[in-house]
Structure 1
Amino acid sequence: MLFGFEWDLTNPLNFAISILPILLVGMWVTIQATVLGFFVALVLGLVLAVLKSAQSRFVAWPAKLVTEFIRDTPLLVQLFFLYYVLPEYGIVLPAFMTGALALGIQYSAYTSEVYRAGIEAVGKDQREAARALNLSAANTFTHIVVPQAVPRIVPAMGNYLVSIMKDVPVLSVVTVLEMLNVAKIIGDRTFDYLVPLSLVGCLYLIMTLVASAGVRVLDTHLPKQGLPLK
């Protein structure tokens, strides 16, 4: 028994059916960490992209240095830093929140480059037309640039969504009970790793296929000329 769930070891099929409920609990944790980490990556990546595009070098260069530092250091190092170092300075976060934040910070470096590519893909004539209409820089960015950039970056963002999902098992090193960690615990208790790990592989395959299909549908239905604004 683990966390109130019982499993049947009489045969592999019964064993798989009996451990499926607890693996689904771990799957829900995996989904939550993926969504939260991806949200952080989207928001922080946009901030970094805007800062790197600033005209002032005093703004752009520090943002570029931060992006390179995040991208060139391992996720595990960043996770350990947030989990073990920050508490020494009075910043204590739950393991789950720390893990999701680490995922978001790591992938914000990559999403910032996707944002930058999408923003630069919008023609300069669009900005010039906005200036001719006396639109402010903020309005030009939010009403002209972003609606045209978003459809261009959806496929790349979808790839990073799937990548974040597959990196969630790293959070097990800070005691987050995501799906793979739960399967490992079951294997440790029963000395049978084949069934739980095989189930985890199948569940990950289902999640990634669903996420990829959702991204393809979104990419297909978004107007390539830009998002309509009311």
Structure 2
Amino acid sequence: MGPKLWDWAYAWEAFPLLAEASIITIKATLMGFVVALTVGLLFAIGRMAGPTWSRVAVGGLVEFIRSTPLLIQIFFLYYVMPEFGLTMDAMLTGVLALGLHYGAYCSEVYRAGLANVPKGQWEASTALNLSPWTTFKDVILPQAIPPVVPALGNYLVALFKETPLLSVIAVLELMQTAKILGSETFRYVEPITLVGVFFLVFSLVSAALIRRVELHLNQRMGRRT
């Protein structure tokens, strides 16, 4: 008889190591998403405000990031940027690459939300002598964000599923750890299957949390109106 397809003893042995690696995956996901939300908002503002040349420049940058593979961007930041004097460790590089890549996508979501706020809101705020910053922060954003939360949440789940790409620069996230375990024991079924289970559970939990945030924001908007 050949080796059995599934070894429960080995699966339980691998589980704690993968659970520990999942912390790295979650950290990379959350930090990358914070970068994406921040950069995405800045990109969206840059494409909607300011002189024509700056809007065109920001738009070109966003399209460039969206049109090139994330894997190439990771390699560029980790292996090419040190030639220009910018050296970062693998984790920081991965977080920055994820954040910039998905920030370009989030910018389009933000732009749609901001464009849906009636222009009369700006005019009314001007009539009330509110500064542009106060208007944007207290009037425009609270109306623009709730409708786009589901779309932003979809990018959170997508970003999470992209973290295995960080294994190419030796970030010891889930997939890299599973590959190491498999290479040591020549058993890949258990660690790869467990990685799939981890990703499924985290994706479902993320989707549920996003739904809760969406409902909470909608309830707040309902109370305000």
TM-score class normalised by the smaller sequence? over 0.9
Could you say what secondary structure the match of 1:176 adopts?
A: coil
What is the aligned-residue RMSD (CA, Å)? 1.7
1:207 pairs with 2:202: yes
The 8 Å contact of residues 150 and 226 in structure 1, kept in 2 or not, is answered as no
Task: Tell me how far apart the structure 2 counterparts of residues 26 and 92 of structure 1 sit (CA, whole Å).
Answer: 24
Instruction: Decide which moves more: 65-74 or 216-225.
Output: 216-225
| Residue correspondences, number | 220
- CA-CA distance at 1:223 after TM superposition: 2.9
Mind listing any 5+ residue stretches in structure 1 that lack a counterpart?
1-8
User: Which residues in structure 2 correspond to 1:1-230 (within 5 Å)?
Assistant: 12-223=7-218, 226=221
Task: Tell me how far apart the structure 2 counterparts of residues 224 and 55 of structure 1 sit (CA, whole Å).
Answer: 34
**Which structure carries more helix by proportion?**
2
Q: Which amino acid aligns with 1:98?
A: T
Q: Which amino acid aligns with 2:215?
A: T
The 8 Å contact of residues 148 and 225 in structure 1, kept in 2 or not, is answered as no
- CA-CA distance at 1:131 after TM superposition: 1.4
The 8 Å contact of residues 71 and 106 in structure 1, kept in 2 or not, is answered as yes
The 8 Å contact of residues 75 and 106 in structure 1, kept in 2 or not, is answered as yes
Q: Report the identity percentage.
A: 46
Q: Which amino acid aligns with 1:81?
A: F
Task: Tell me how far apart the structure 1 counterparts of residues 80 and 96 of structure 2 sit (CA, whole Å).
Answer: 14
Mind listing any 5+ residue stretches in structure 2 that lack a counterpart?
none
Deviations 1:11-30 (A, max 9, x none): 71111111111001110000
- Return closer, same or farther for 1:228/1:126 CA change in 2, 3 Å cut-off: farther
Give the structure-2-normalised TM-score.
0.93
- CA-CA distance at 1:158 after TM superposition: 0.4
Give the structure-1-normalised TM-score.
0.91
Q: Which amino acid aligns with 1:147?
A: P
Could you say what secondary structure the match of 2:218 adopts?
A: coil
